Structure 1
Amino acid sequence: ESRMARKTARRKLALCAGAAAGVLSLLGAEGASAAPALKGPERTRPNIIVILFDDVALMDLGAYGGEARTPNIDRLARQGARFTGYRTSPLCTPSRAMLLTGLDNHRAGAATIEEILPPEMRNRPGYRLRIEPEVLTIAERLRAEGYRTLMAGKWHLGHGPGELPDGQGFDRSLALDASGADNWAPRPYMPYYTEAPWYEDGRPAKMPGSFYSSDLLVDRLTRYIDEAPAGRAPFFAYLALQAVHIPVQAPARYADGYRGRFDGGWEALRQARTARARQLGLLPDGAAVDGFSPDARDWDALPAHERRIAARSMEVYAGMIEAADAAIGRLIQRLEARGELDNTLFVVTSDNGPEPSDPVHQRGMGLWMRTHGYAWRLEGLGGPGSLNYIGREWAEALAAPGRRYKFYVSEGGIRAPLIVSGPGVAPGRRIDGLTFVTDVTPTLADFAGARATPEAPAMDGISLRAVLEGGGGAVRGPNSSLGIEVSGNAALYRGDYKIVRDMPPLGDGRWRLYDIARDPGETRELSGAEPERLQALLADYAAYEARVGVAPLPPGYTIQKQLTANALARQAPLLAALVGVLALVVGGAGLLAWRWRRRGRGGA
């Protein structure tokens, strides 16, 4: 209640500040300032829709050379700006916290995700894994300016009263309070969860018995938009899709459109994407690209049935993206019918790179899947009851031209698509400069004319409005540094260079230096050739850690071990109940056997 009171008080202060201030001043951590704010009375404020994909790689969308058909998103890209230097965090919760607040994930309150958080780090500042009380979301900033604020999709930014979307500035919301869930029914997708916790406006939601997630989320968001007549007040809508998070599921009519498309295997896909990356300018001429991890499986050496199910998993993956695009198309059509499309600003992006995990073949998953109605087989793959995934080799292929994938801060894990389209955005723009997920909130606040909120923490991101409107110049200066850290995986950018530290099992925890402008594939390590530059960037990173409050990990920490430990802890009550039932069954059987033996001896 006290947290809610502080939020309410801040909103009132924001309204007062909005009436008093005529200029938005959003200062970045490195001294970069936002462009002057729009003044509300002088122009119509745009509606704003942020569409966040889950685990979509840089080149997954059609506008970036992907295999999936995404005509509606491609249309937005043609009419607006396509970013090629956009980076995010390697995991969902930190990215979402930064996207919605404009602050570094530690300052916002979501340093990592709860599934891999060590117990000794819980409740530390920045590691409570909820948006901190003093932090304002973009929804709160815009609601203070008279916007209706709407949300549908994955939340994963806190639990319970005050921490769900209704406590973070959203007027209406249908929110999944978990890292993911089944796309066909309200049920969990992994043993960490005992349910699929859906909430509407902060209360447990009554979900349909069956649905498809992209259709459900877009339909619900459209309903919220239609609750007010067009033009009465601008709206901010946040659509957080489940596509293409595990379980990878899609209607067969979409997946079947890619029959045979991936039969050549993951090596062929990575080579094809690398070639398209050169054609599209996502990879400089002559730049090298790493191959697969040394222990990656040889596609041609796999048994035929394994190749078929692996290829089908990618057909479903592409179909899931196309199904999401089709749902987005219906949203666009509804806005057009309302007469609001021309005054709607769209942002389309992803929270991190592609997902490498294989949940099906983990120890104990067979029993869990059977008890929860899941199967993994070629027949019906991606349909209801199918726990489909793409796995590590496909993730490495999808991450081209980058290295590695989700969880890691190598380029494959954090270089993501970003499309911005709508009023005030110059059409057909390609923006190559380094941009970051924290830049989204100050940009939207700038376009909406949101006023300064001095009582809230200053945002780390910068407004991109000037470059979106067609202005020249770099997004960030050559001496501006940008740090990232999630569960020990860390990076820092400065000018054309990047230092990166990937932790086990793929990494070794050692810092490496790359010229990221000429070598985005991170193939030429420069620490030995440029030790002074390495030390300068390490000093910048140490300053970043101190500023945002990065906490040291416990000895021996790995993401995989912590995920297993946390899942077992979450399932402990269920496991105890099962053990109790088993003990009763065994004890009862023993008692019956004893009585039978006694009766037999008496009869003799």
Structure 2
Amino acid sequence: MRCAIGCRLAGFSLAGLIALSPAPAALSQTAVAPSAIPQAPAARRPNIVLILVDDAALMDFGAFGGEARTPHIDQLARSGAMFTNYHTSPLCSPSRAMLLTGVDNHRAGVATIEEILPPSQKDKRGYGLKIEPGVLTIADRLKAEGYRTLMAGKWHLGHGEGALPNSHGFDRSLALDASGADNWAPKPYMPYYTEAPWFEDGKPATMPKRFYSSDLLVDRLRTYIDEKPAGAQPFFAYLAFQAVHIPVQAPKAVSDRYKGRFDAGWAAMRAARNARAKSLGLIPPDAPTTGMPQDARAWEALTPEERAVYARAMEVYAGMLESMDASIGRLMRHLEDRGELDNTLFVVTSDNGPEFSDPVHAPGMNIWMPLNGYAWRLDGLGEPGSLNFIGRDWALALAAPSRLYKFYTTEGGLRVPLILSGPGVKAGARIGAPVFVTDVTPTLVDLAGATGNPAGAAMDGRSLRPVLNGEAKTVRADHEPVGIEVSGNAALFRGSLKITRVMPPVGDGQWRLYDLAVDPGETLDLARDRPELLREMLKDYAAYEARVGVAKLPPGYTTQQQLMANALGRQKGSIAVMAGAAVALVLAGLGFLLLRRKARR
């Protein structure tokens, strides 16, 4: 008998328990709670909903120890499988390319993001920053198997004719063709963009003047789902939220639920998350952890006004997560009303770790923001017209128990949550095997019962079915390498071993070696003690670079400088118009003064 969502959420959620207790009991590695979603008959192909959160940290969901209330995501975690050793790429577009194709980002055509692409790489294969011909998305693959394919949310995988979702297997799509946008109105969030480019089915979309992004995306996806009667045809739906990407925005009433929750500051949050990571079994109880780095700002050194603004920024961040979760709940209820919830497989994950950028204090933003209807102040923070962000110090705290954050191939940039729940997934599973973003598409194709093998680039990932059903403890042998590279930041994994390189100005560009089984926080570099192992893994990485076609960066390259240069290049037209208008105003003013002087004579 089907259990209503209200029945499933009647008990305490993990988020609620965590909020009530500073040191929750460790979760079982094998079982959490009995399944509330009965398994669908094997002959009935499941619907699939792939939910991608933007810039969420490993511990942001309640089930993973987060502060925000995420009862619907937590329920999917309890009724399905939680992957606690899942790695993605450090940047959004490469991650999305790998997630949707099962192919390494360079082979897929999206080696990095256009905002930081140097001119010397633009003509290189894999750096076109759109999905390459012959690379199939999961929508392509499932559409060939008779699925309806639907999408709502951020795309950021290429522009123009032939690059948008309608050209990559999606029957219906509402897509944001940018790295982000305002959540309350169809407008850009940074000077790199002159507009918020929304497209529906490949054509410019007419957007409402006012909306909230999480609600809008779920509403549109529900409309697409309702275009066919329940059970008439299985569907695949890709729901790519703007939460919690900059600008961090949420309804005031939701943000207000977290008043005072973050008043102790970022060092206190990182310490609390480190402790919860151990009590929840995300890291070993004896694993070394670190606090805030020495160059972080001391919370106590901020003025009371600064502390109020930054604490409110995190209240809005939590509110944005809760609002997104509420929209997921509305989608689940809608599927339940259609009688399709029991036969829907859900995937929930993040594209990379938390965002550290501070756009507000970047050069020129004091001019750009008022011209585009933005302000940064405590009153109304996160509401319409507010360009809110959390910044580096909160990102360092959110990334606990890991090191650094988005953009970098440390665990803070790569290790994020992954949940699978629904038909074919055992309830209450906790899976600690190393798995990667390229494994998601082959897993979903497998669980969908796809039998065909359409022509296209071979996938790099592997199906997770063996670890999901308990047939195997790992997907890969410990000696099998998996490489990742984005704009010079790179890593290579072999079992629990990892080498990583962090580029300037945050890092020094040197390779370091860690054993994540005992040191998931990357606190002890083993490179000097195990030089032969480092050399072996560097050979593996060189082979990876050659196989996928990693292009060299120009001397002195940094992402920050390239972003500024590319943004100025994009804005040349508007800057010229603004300059021309300013000159015209000055000339008009001078002319007026000359006329007045002449009239007086």
2:141 touches 2:454 (CA, 8 Å); kept in 1?
Answer: no
1:79 touches 1:422 (CA, 8 Å); kept in 2?
Answer: yes
Partner of 2:230, secondary structure, is coil
2:45 touches 2:234 (CA, 8 Å); kept in 1?
Answer: yes
Question: Aligned partners of 1:584 and 1:251: how far apart in 2?
Answer: 41
How big is each residue's C-alpha offset from its partner over 1:70-114, in whole Å with a ceiling of 9 and x where there is no partner? 111111101100000000000000000000000000000000001
Question: Aligned partners of 1:324 and 1:574: how far apart in 2?
Answer: 34
1:426 touches 1:470 (CA, 8 Å); kept in 2?
Answer: no
Partner of 1:96, secondary structure, is helix
In the TM superposition, residue 586 of structure 1 has moved relative to its aligned partner by 2.0
In the TM superposition, residue 472 of structure 1 has moved relative to its aligned partner by 3.4
Q: What 5-or-longer segments of structure 1 have no aligned partner?
A: 1-39
| Partner residue in 1 for 2:576 | 576
How big is each residue's C-alpha offset from its partner over 1:184-231, in whole Å with a ceiling of 9 and x where there is no partner? 000000000000011111111111110000000011101111110011
In the TM superposition, residue 454 of structure 1 has moved relative to its aligned partner by 5.6
Amino acid corresponding to residue 587 of structure 1 in structure 2? L
| Partner residue in 1 for 2:340 | 340
Question: Aligned partners of 1:115 and 1:388: how far apart in 2?
Answer: 20
In the TM superposition, residue 585 of structure 1 has moved relative to its aligned partner by 2.0
Amino acid corresponding to residue 315 of structure 1 in structure 2? E
Following superposition of structure 1 onto structure 2, how do residues 68-87 of structure 1 map, counting pairs within 5 Å? 68-87=68-87
Amino acid corresponding to residue 474 of structure 2 in structure 1? A
The verdict on how the C-alpha distance between 1:509 and 1:337 changes in structure 2, with shifts beyond 3 A counting, is: same
| Partner residue in 1 for 2:179 | 179
Partner of 1:349, secondary structure, is strand
Following superposition of structure 1 onto structure 2, how do residues 373-412 of structure 1 map, counting pairs within 5 Å? 373-412=373-412
| Partner residue in 2 for 1:561 | 561
Partner of 1:323, secondary structure, is helix
| Partner residue in 1 for 2:357 | 357
Partner of 1:325, secondary structure, is helix
| Partner residue in 1 for 2:17 | none
Question: Aligned partners of 1:137 and 1:225: how far apart in 2?
Answer: 20
In the TM superposition, residue 582 of structure 1 has moved relative to its aligned partner by 1.6
In the TM superposition, residue 165 of structure 1 has moved relative to its aligned partner by 0.6
The verdict on how the C-alpha distance between 1:576 and 1:59 changes in structure 2, with shifts beyond 3 A counting, is: same
| Partner residue in 1 for 2:223 | 223
The reply to whether residue 433 of structure 1 matches residue 439 of structure 2 is: no
Question: Aligned partners of 1:212 and 1:589: how far apart in 2?
Answer: 43
The reply to whether residue 271 of structure 1 matches residue 271 of structure 2 is: yes
Question: Aligned partners of 1:506 and 1:185: how far apart in 2?
Answer: 34
In the TM superposition, residue 598 of structure 1 has moved relative to its aligned partner by 5.1
Indicate the larger mover: 461-470 or 488-497.
461-470
| Partner residue in 2 for 1:475 | 475
Amino acid corresponding to residue 106 of structure 1 in structure 2? H
Amino acid corresponding to residue 112 of structure 1 in structure 2? T
The RMSD of aligned alpha carbons is 1.3
Following superposition of structure 1 onto structure 2, how do residues 13-92 of structure 1 map, counting pairs within 5 Å? 43-92=43-92
Q: Give the number of aligned pairs.
A: 562
Amino acid corresponding to residue 138 of structure 1 in structure 2? I
1:429 touches 1:470 (CA, 8 Å); kept in 2?
Answer: no
Partner of 1:585, secondary structure, is helix
The reply to whether residue 309 of structure 1 matches residue 312 of structure 2 is: no
In the TM superposition, residue 515 of structure 1 has moved relative to its aligned partner by 0.9
Using the size of structure 2 for normalisation, the TM-score is 0.92
In the TM superposition, residue 488 of structure 1 has moved relative to its aligned partner by 0.3
Question: Aligned partners of 1:274 and 1:294: how far apart in 2?
Answer: 17
In the TM superposition, residue 594 of structure 1 has moved relative to its aligned partner by 4.0
Indicate the larger mover: 558-567 or 579-588.
579-588
The verdict on how the C-alpha distance between 1:509 and 1:385 changes in structure 2, with shifts beyond 3 A counting, is: same
In the TM superposition, residue 42 of structure 1 has moved relative to its aligned partner by 6.4
In the TM superposition, residue 595 of structure 1 has moved relative to its aligned partner by 4.6
Q: Between the two proteins, what is the percent identity of the paired residues?
A: 67
| Partner residue in 2 for 1:545 | 545
Partner of 1:221, secondary structure, is helix
Q: What 5-or-longer segments of structure 2 have no aligned partner?
A: 1-39
Partner of 1:163, secondary structure, is coil
1:80 touches 1:421 (CA, 8 Å); kept in 2?
Answer: yes
Indicate the larger mover: 288-297 or 436-445.
288-297
In the TM superposition, residue 452 of structure 1 has moved relative to its aligned partner by 4.2
Amino acid corresponding to residue 339 of structure 2 in structure 1? G
Amino acid corresponding to residue 500 of structure 1 in structure 2? T
Partner of 2:423, secondary structure, is coil
In the TM superposition, residue 41 of structure 1 has moved relative to its aligned partner by 11
How big is each residue's C-alpha offset from its partner over 1:419-445, in whole Å with a ceiling of 9 and x where there is no partner? 000001011000001100000000011
In the TM superposition, residue 541 of structure 1 has moved relative to its aligned partner by 0.2
In the TM superposition, residue 122 of structure 1 has moved relative to its aligned partner by 1.1
Following superposition of structure 1 onto structure 2, how do residues 102-181 of structure 1 map, counting pairs within 5 Å? 102-181=102-181
Question: Aligned partners of 2:495 and 2:49: how far apart in 1?
Answer: 31
Using the size of structure 1 for normalisation, the TM-score is 0.92
The reply to whether residue 466 of structure 1 matches residue 466 of structure 2 is: yes
Partner of 1:419, secondary structure, is strand
Question: Aligned partners of 1:93 and 1:490: how far apart in 2?
Answer: 16
